[in-house]
Amino acid sequence: MKNRIHSLWAWIAGPKSDFVLFVVLIVLVNLVSTNAFFRLDLTRSQSYSLSGASRELVQTLEEPMTVQVFFSDKLPAPYNGVERYLRDLLQEFSTAANRNFTYEFFDMEKPENREIADSYGIAMVQIREVKDTEVGYKNAWMGLVLTYSDRIEVLDNLTTTDGLEYRLTTSMGKMAALTNSLAGLDSKIRMTLYATEKLGALGLSGFNQVERTVHDAYSRLNRRNMDMIEWQRVNPEEASLVDELAARYGVMKINWSAGNDGEEAGAGSLGIVLEYGDRFRTVPLDVARVFGSYVITGLDRLDDRLAEALRSLMDNAVTIGYATGHGELSLEDVRSGAGRLNQLVADTYTFEAVDLSTGQVPPHVSMLMINGPKNTFDEKARYALDQFLLRGGSVFLLVDSFMEIPDQGGQYGGMPQFVPVSTGLDSLLERYGVSVGKNYVLDKKCYEAQQRGVGKVPLYYVPLVDRSGMNQNHPVSRDLAFVLFLQAASVDSVAASGEDGKTVIPLATSSPQSWLMADRITLDTRAMPLPEEDAMKAQQLAVLVEGRFDSAFASPPPSGTNGDADEDSPFSPDTHLARSVQPGKLLVVGTSAITTPMVMDEEGKQPVSIFVRNAIDYLNGRGEFAEMRTKGLSLEILDETTPSVRSAVRAVNLYGVPLLAVLAGLGAWRLRVRRREKIREHYQGEKGGAA
């Protein structure tokens, strides 16, 4: 036995065992690495590392969270990169999570897995595939399903890595919050379909399928939400009930006129309402006119709309105060107002109208947005804003220096007039060390519009702020580039920079080729002569001021009608703050147009949309959300160059590289000739010496 042990030890110590021991070492290292490993993320924005908010979420899961991934293998670029990123991201989630998080990838070559994907509503899509010299199409699945407790959330069409961590984290967070809310309900949520039967008899197309379609959608929604929803259908016939539903819930009221057959004029209701307690959400059923007949449309998207309404009803979303009563952009106007912004932030925030003229901001509001006011704020409203900021509130102020009034002559191509806007907020801002100029910032680096017969026309009043103009050290503007600031005024913060207790952070700055238009305002680029180069300089477009502010008021304003003190006034010397009790945040942008559909896209993926959403996140204390949203955006951004530089690079690629190859070949040839000569001289010299 001792001889065998001695022989084994000698074999291990000898060179013959090196290969076997090396293989064993590799196996052991791999086994250890499956549970103890590390990764290095060398990207500037840490695009492949989990954010703090994501780690905190998965570490505090109270119920099992399962991620089922239905993603086809061997997809062409760039979709194969999405799958690889998704695998790495879920591995990061799993490493950081507690025992309640699991994930699984399904093999989509198996028919049974395709059936599972179909049952969840994940649609098969066609993607373009290039092989050799042929272009074809390939069927693919690119989606996942989140399951938390009894709730199910589907994320489909995952075609890009941009914002993928943000989508996963926010979706999981909403599911966890909604599940906890549903688990704590003491009664069921009521879902009611209000549909007047007479609408079907009068020929409203699609009406006969409404009840069945809505009930089927209710059944699916109820199964996903712990059976906490009850259903009913109501047939409103009385005119008083129709009017009441329209006034109370905003349920669509459909009028009909008297008919030749003796049918009297009347009105009916059509819509869905979700209610719990005194809260409710209305889901309208769209009615459109198609080829002269009225048709109910949008039923194919009913599941998503009901799910969003339920989430909005039950989620503990952060409430944002939205100032009204001074001509601000409307949150309901999706064509020219802030309706699109309202839709983009609805998954996380809820806007609540705040009338500052009442003299106070509701105590549950921690952020106030003032978006494009056109009328003057009275002293009472300004004081309410002042005290809100001094109590540690956050203010997002988007102000316009001019109001555009269309040409009243009715002539085609008539030029609008630009009237200066006076809101009365200038005195407040000046007290805080900030001022907004009565001007428009014009920039040679701007958006260029393509016009027929003319080509590209520079729109100097739409500065295009690149990476160098966006503050890359702040979560609101980090990794953003090519942000459009439409009709923006300059924002000066020099006065605030020298004050103690304040931090001034410029977030967006125009290029050094900028100038100001303060007189004879026009948007006609032909009437905008370019100034001399030495007259141009960069201008601040968005500035964030944080810290402690001094009040713009020495005392509360009088509230009586005659300027005397009013015993019932909510203001008193005891509540007046002369200086901030908590650090506040004030973000000033010289335009409200960046919150309108003119530059804000529907999906919120354009840089200007991301900038606005990041600002809202940061002002609500959710800077990590902004970091997640912008991850990876800077990976493919190229530095902009001049035409001369592009021509030089092109010439080097076309002629310089071949020339270098030729010179390298000549150099190698000359070295070989020189080497042969040295060898010949060496041997000839030896022969001569021997002789």
The pLDDT of residue 689: 55
Per-residue tokens: 223? 């199964």
Give the CA-trace dihedral at 211, 212, 213, 217, to 10 degrees: 100
Question: What span, in angstroms and rounded, lies between the C-alpha atoms of 463 and 470?
Answer: 12
Q: Give the CA radius of gyration of the chain.
A: 33
For residue 570, pLDDT beyond 70: no
For residue 187, pLDDT beyond 70: yes
E strand spans, 365-409: 367-371, 394-398, 402-405
CATH second-level architecture of 318-552+578-629? 3-Layer(aba) Sandwich (3.40)
For residue 357, pLDDT beyond 50: yes
* DSSP state for residue 128 in the 8-state scheme: E
Q: 509 Cβ partners below 8 Å, 6+ apart?
A: 465, 469, 538, 539, 540, 541
pLDDT per residue as tens digits for the range 281-302: 888 888 877 766 788 887 888 9
Query: pTM of the entire structure?
Result: 0.68
Query: Taking the CA of residue 256 as centre, how many other CA atoms within 13 Å lie in the half-sphere pointing to its CB?
Result: 21
Burial of 84 (C-beta count, 10 Å sphere; 0-12/13-18/19+):
exposed
Element (H, E) at 247: helix 239-248
Question: What span, in angstroms and rounded, lies between the C-alpha atoms of 174 and 215?
Answer: 25
Per-residue tokens: 656? 């310089």
The pLDDT of residue 561: 42
Question: What span, in angstroms and rounded, lies between the C-alpha atoms of 518 and 624?
Answer: 39
Angle at 396 between CA 392 and CA 399, to 5 degrees: 135
Q: Phi/psi zone of residue 147: left (φ > 0), alpha (ψ -120 to 50 degrees), beta?
A: beta
Please state the length of the chain: 691
The pLDDT of residue 519: 83
- Please provide the DSSP assignment of 625-670 as one string: HHHHHTTTTTTTPPPP--HHHHHHHHHIIIIIHHHHHHHHHHHHHH
Q: If pLDDT is split at 50, 70 and 90, which confidence band does 511 have? A: very high
The pLDDT of residue 687: 57
Per mean pLDDT, which range of 9-18, 144-153, 551-560, 568-577 is the poorest? 568-577
Is CATH 2.60.40.10 the classification given to domain 52-183? Answer: no
Q: If pLDDT is split at 50, 70 and 90, which confidence band does 566 have? A: very low
- Please provide the DSSP assignment of 166-186 as one string: HHHHHHHHHHHHHHHHHHT-S
**Phi, psi values for residue 502, rounded to 5°:** -120, 145
Burial of 573 (C-beta count, 10 Å sphere; 0-12/13-18/19+):
exposed
Beta bridge partners of 290: 293
Question: What span, in angstroms and rounded, lies between the C-alpha atoms of 143 and 141?
Answer: 6
Side chain identity at residue 256, one-letter code? W
For residue 439, pLDDT beyond 90: yes
Question: What span, in angstroms and rounded, lies between the C-alpha atoms of 654 and 650?
Answer: 6
Per mean pLDDT, which range of 34-43, 107-116, 410-419, 424-433 is the poorest? 34-43
For the chain, the domains span: 2-33, 52-183, 189-308, 318-552+578-629, 645-691
Question: What span, in angstroms and rounded, lies between the C-alpha atoms of 591 and 595?
Answer: 9
Looking up tokens 């000066």 gives: 492
The pLDDT of residue 572: 29
pLDDT per residue as tens digits for the range 237-282: 999 999 888 877 778 888 888 876 667 888 899 999 999 887 788 8
